[in-house]
Amino acid sequence: MSDRLEDIAHAMVQPGQGILAADESNGTMQKRFDPLGIENTADNRRDYREMLFRSEQAMNENVGGVILFEETLHQKAADGTPFVDIIKAAGAVPGIKVDQGVQPLPGHDGETVTVGLDILAENLKAYYDVGARFAKWRAVIAVDKSLPSWGGIRANAHALARYAALCQAAGIVPIVEPEVQMDGDPGDHTIERCHEVTAATLKAVFNELDEQNVKLEGIVLKPNMVVPGSNAAKQASPEEVAEHTVAVLKRHVPSAVPGIAFLSGGQSDLEATANLNAMNAGHSAPWALTYSYGRALQAAAREAWGGKPENLPAASKAFTHRARMNGLAAKGEWNEGLEAG
């Protein structure tokens, strides 16, 4: 694969392909495994992720990149093959989550800022040497009637831009992820409020990217879809979500960006697929509109597996189906009747 940032970014968002977010920390995996009665051991985490990465149809046809947790970036399959090599053999790009989580933002009650810039340059070099060619940094934007503040938006936008500049200096494509939360507290905001906050956030992010001389041709944007809060009295149809989301993006995201890979947030598997499909089926856009899903790609597979080796083929089948559905949605070719498969 070419080492040019723009070539790597385009490879991650080819038609019908998206990004598998397999970057759950060990603590998050505990939360995913506990309801299913799965022991959270290194071997179980390895076996589960090996099942995902060896699902050949899904990986070859519908996954352009895989976001890894640091443990997984260095991990090997049961036969000793590095996961990075398995991912590359499938034609996908290995990547790495690099932020160190969020902390309260001083002077801004209810808001956070993502941390980890102080150690990022050194870490990126090590990640590149192992094989990572893109990275991910998530900023969390809380939303209610009074939040976010402009200071909160600006602090997170600046951190995202600093991170992106450091990535590109290291030869790594940055996934820029400003997430306006749909499932925060109280999570009862309207789709119009999400539209307003998402617009302000994206405007600030791209202003900061410009200030830091980030090459837009060598990034992938990972935003939220414009949706009502998870506890809102009125929910929205896929067509409404598509109309609001594409309108915000067209106003605030330059056409130089190769691709937009949405996070699923608190959406169900079906909602995440239907909303993505509505964007691609009903709207034209200058960028690829695709997915960067974690739970919305993995939940069915994890449940089918249940920690039992004999269930790995069924889990792989469930993952392959979900990946195929989202691959079709990324081309505007999905319909609910296909879910019966």
* Span 13-55, pLDDT tens digits: 999 999 999 999 999 999 999 999 999 999 999 999 999 999 9
Closest to 77 (Cα-Cα) out of 109, 99, 55: 55
Q: Measuring CA to CA, how many Å separate 27 from each of 32, 34, 41, 117?
A: 9, 11, 11, 22
CA distance 316 to 302: 9
User: Is residue 184 predicted with pLDDT exceeding 90?
Assistant: no
Q: Residue 185 pLDDT more than 90?
A: no
pTM of structure: 0.97
Beta bridge partners of 140: 179
More confident residue, 1 or 92: 92
Give the mean pLDDT of 52-62.
Answer: 98
Confidence at residue 214, expressed as pLDDT on a 0 to 100 scale? 98
Rounded to whole angstroms, the Cα distance separating 201 from 142 reads 11
**What single string gives the DSSP state of each residue in 123-160?**
HHHHHHHHT--EEEEEEEE--SSSPPPHHHHHHHHHHH
180: nearest Cα among 144, 154, 151: 144
Mean pLDDT, all residues of the chain: 97
Domain 5-340 fold is TIM Barrel (3.20.20)
Please determine, for residue 109, whether its predicted confidence score (pLDDT) is greater than 90: yes
93-97 and 134-141 as β-strands: parallel, antiparallel, unpaired? parallel
CA separation for the pair 243, 239 (Å, rounded)? 6
Residues 6+ apart with CB under 8 A from 35: none
> Is the predicted pLDDT of residue 341 greater than 70, yes or no?
no
> By the 8 A CB rule, do 48 and 69 touch?
no
Neighbours of 94 (CB within 10 A): 24
Over the stretch 241-298, which tens digit does the pLDDT of each residue have? 999 999 999 999 999 999 999 999 989 999 999 999 999 999 999 999 999 999 999 9
Round to whole Å and give the CA distance between 80 and 284.
45
The values of phi and psi at residue 104, to 5°, are -55, 140
Distances (CA, A) of 336 to 63, 203, 230, 239, 329: 21, 34, 22, 14, 11
**Mean pLDDT for the stretch of residues 304-323:** 98
The pLDDT tens digits for 93-107 are 999 999 999 999 999
Domains of the chain, residue spans: 5-340
Q: What is the pLDDT confidence band of residue 66, given thresholds at 50, 70 and 90?
A: very high
pLDDT above 90 as % of the chain = 96
Catalytic sites, residue numbers: 177, 222
User: Which are the contacts of 280, defined by CB distance < 8 A and separation ≥ 6?
Assistant: 289, 329, 330, 331, 332
Mean pLDDT of all residues in 144-165? 97
State residue 2's pLDDT score.
79
What are the residue ranges of helices labelled H in the chain?
A: 5-12, 26-33, 42-53, 56-62, 70-74, 83-89, 120-130, 150-169, 191-211, 238-252, 269-282, 295-305, 312-329
The average pLDDT across 182-209 equals: 95
Q: Select from 77, 75, 25, 16 the least CA-distant residue to 51.
A: 77
Vertex 64: Cα angle to 62 and 70 (nearest 5): 120
User: String of b and e for 123-140 (b: at least 16 CB within 10 Å)?
Assistant: bbeebbeebbbbbbbbbb
Residue 183 has pLDDT above 90, yes or no: no
- What is the average per-residue pLDDT within 132-149? 96
pLDDT of residue 169 exceeding 70: yes
Q: What pLDDT is attached to residue 295?
A: 95
At 340 the pLDDT is 86
What is the per-residue pLDDT for 292?
A: 98
Instruction: Please tell me the distance from the alpha carbon of residue 144 to that of residue 157, in angstroms, as a whole number.
Output: 19
